[in-house]
């Protein structure tokens, strides 16, 4: 090494310096002052060089130590950095594993999301289809509900009136007929309407018989008119409803009572809307004319215009009440009752009296009634006709028609003959 070499040179110089005596190997002492001078100079040069080299080597050694220290410091720093990086790498690896797991999870989630989106699109398509079906179903349901409602309304067997109700209004109409007939005759009693002879006859005969014949004629006319109004399908003066009646009879024969009854109710109700016509006013006007004609035929004095004016002045309200009662029954029987058909009944003029289906309103004996002949009908009867499910027709007489027999005329003739 450089330090060891320097020490060797130092020993050598010590031996070779001037005046230095060294022992000879054989034990003698010798002086080298003269002989070793050149050598000494060379050695000194070498020593100086060696010293310089030693200084160089020392500096180098110091530099090496400093470099080593720096290297060791750098190594330590690198080691720390390495360890730190190693920890970082370990953390990164751990995080990488976590991220990889998350990535795998994300792939699974993405796949599930893709499948969910696909399923959602499929569900949306199904939902759209179902919504369209729902809309159609709802519309169909509304249509079918409306049809069912119409069918229920059409086929319902529930009547707005009972048999007792319709029987009561018919009896009220018969009362209107009697009052209208007797009231109109009461006004015709004066001489200017019936003449002096009739007035004299009416003064002799009991009061209940004074206007009896004319009253019968008026009641028979009112019954006929009432039955015409009730049975009429369309209350227009110039309308023949025979075709409609024929169609209804065909439906009634081939369909159930519910179908036939509802068809009849709807047809009669809507027929009124076909023309803006005041049936009540027209009927009242015609009825007034009919009453005036009957009074004229009964012998009332005066021109037809005078008799018509008297009827209008004295009996307009009563006759209007009669017409309204007829229209009420027309609506009730034709439009409000569907479970059965209700028919007004009258005795045919000239027919044999039948106690099972008629009632003698004017009270002859039982034997006379059974042998009598119908003169006219003075009170309407009412019959309920229903078609059963088996197709058979069931008819029930709810109210017998009131009739006057021809024996009444015989009694009146005899009374008048006796008076004459």
The 10s digit of each residue's pLDDT in 91-136 is 888 888 888 888 888 888 888 888 888 888 888 898 899 889 989 9
61 and 184, same domain (yes or no):
no
Residue 65 lies in a domain: yes
Residue 234 lies in a domain: yes
Q: Report in angstroms the alpha-carbon separations of 414 from 155, 208, 409, 410.
A: 58, 16, 8, 6
pLDDT band at 258 (very low <50, low <70, confident <90, very high): confident
Residue 45 lies in a domain: yes
Residue 225 lies in a domain: yes
Which of 94, 127, 146 finishes a domain? 94
pLDDT band at 385 (very low <50, low <70, confident <90, very high): very high
Q: What share of the chain is helix, strand, coil (3-state, %, to 5)?
A: 70, 10, 20
The residues, ordered by sequence, that sit 6+ positions from 378 with a Cβ below 8 Å of its Cβ are 177, 178, 181, 216, 219, 220, 223, 361, 362, 402, 403, 404
65 and 203, same domain (yes or no):
no
Query: Mean pLDDT throughout 275-288?
Result: 83
Residue 115 lies in a domain: no
| CB of 383 closer than 8 Å to CB of 357 | no
305 and 386, same domain (yes or no):
yes
Which of 77, 94, 111 finishes a domain? 94
180 and 71, same domain (yes or no):
no
| Number of structural domains the chain divides into | 2
49 and 173, same domain (yes or no):
no
pLDDT band at 205 (very low <50, low <70, confident <90, very high): very low
pLDDT band at 410 (very low <50, low <70, confident <90, very high): low
pLDDT band at 413 (very low <50, low <70, confident <90, very high): low
Pairing, β 402-405 against β 374-379: antiparallel
**Displacement of CA 190 from its chain's centroid (Å):** 68
Query: Mean pLDDT throughout 373-381?
Result: 88
Q: What is the largest CA-CA distance in the chain?
A: 233
In the predicted model, what is the mean pLDDT of the chain?
76
Beta bridge partners of 360: 403
163 or 33, higher pLDDT: 163
Residue 305 lies in a domain: yes
256 and 404, same domain (yes or no):
yes
Which of 94, 109, 124 finishes a domain? 94
216 and 69, same domain (yes or no):
no
Residue 102 lies in a domain: no
Q: What token pair was written down for 234? A: 């369309």
60 and 208, same domain (yes or no):
no
Residue 127 lies in a domain: no
418 or 321, higher pLDDT: 321
Q: Which of 15-19, 150-154, 193-197 has the lowest mean pLDDT?
A: 193-197
Range of the domain at 253: 156-419
235 and 350, same domain (yes or no):
yes
219 and 360, same domain (yes or no):
yes
87 and 224, same domain (yes or no):
no
226 and 314, same domain (yes or no):
yes
């Amino acid at each position: 090494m450089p330090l060891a070499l320097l020490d060797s040179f130092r020993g050598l110089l010590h031996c070779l310096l001037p005046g230095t005596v060294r022992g000879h190997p054989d034990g003698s002492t010798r002086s080298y002052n003269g002989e070793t001078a050149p050598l000494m100079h060379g050695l000194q040069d070498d020593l100086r060089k060696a010293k310089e080299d030693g200084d160089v080597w020392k500096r180098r050694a110091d530099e090496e130590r400093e470099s080593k220290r720096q290297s060791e410091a750098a190594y330590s720093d690198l080691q720390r950095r390495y360890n730190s990086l190693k920890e970082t790498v370990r953390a990164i690896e751990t995080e990488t594993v976590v991220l990889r797991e998350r990535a795998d999870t994300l792939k699974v989630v993405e796949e599930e999301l893709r499948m969910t989106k696909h399923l959602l699109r499929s569900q949306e398509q199904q939902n759209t289809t179902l919504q369209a079906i729902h809309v159609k179903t709802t519309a169909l349901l509304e249509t079918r509900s409306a049809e069912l409602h119409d069918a229920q309304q059409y086929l319902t067997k529930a009547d707005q009136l009972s048999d007792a109700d319709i029987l009561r209004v018919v009896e009220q109409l018969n009362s209107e007929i009697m009052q209208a007939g007797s009231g109109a005759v009461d006004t015709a009693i004066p001489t200017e309407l019936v003449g002096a002879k009739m007035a004299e006859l009416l003064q002799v005969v009991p009061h209940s018989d004074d206007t009896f014949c004319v009253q019968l004629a008026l009641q028979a006319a009112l019954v006929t008119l009432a039955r015409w109004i009730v049975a009429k399908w369309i209350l227009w003066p110039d309308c023949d409803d025979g075709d409609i009646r024929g169609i209804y009879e065909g439906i009634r024969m081939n369909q159930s009572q519910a179908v036939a009854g509802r068809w009849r109710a709807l047809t009669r109700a809507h027929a009124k809307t076909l023309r803006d016509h005041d049936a009540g006013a027209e009927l009242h006007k015609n009825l007034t004319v009919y009453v005036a004609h009957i009074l004229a035929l009964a012998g009332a004095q005066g021109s037809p215009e005078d008799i018509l004016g008297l009827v209008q002045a004295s009996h307009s309200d009563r006759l209007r009440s009669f017409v309204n009662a007829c229209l009420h029954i027309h609506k009730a029987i034709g439009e409000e009752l569907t479970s059965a058909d209700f028919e007004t009944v009258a005795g045919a003029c000239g027919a044999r009296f039948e106690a099972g289906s008629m009632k003698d309103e004017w009270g002859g004996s039982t034997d006379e009634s059974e042998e009598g002949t119908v003169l006219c009908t003075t009170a309407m009867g009412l019959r309920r006709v229903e078609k059963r499910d088996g197709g058979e027709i069931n008819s029930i007489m709810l109210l017998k028609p009131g009739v006057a027999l021809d024996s009444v005329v015989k009694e009146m003739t005899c009374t008048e003959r006796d008076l004459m």
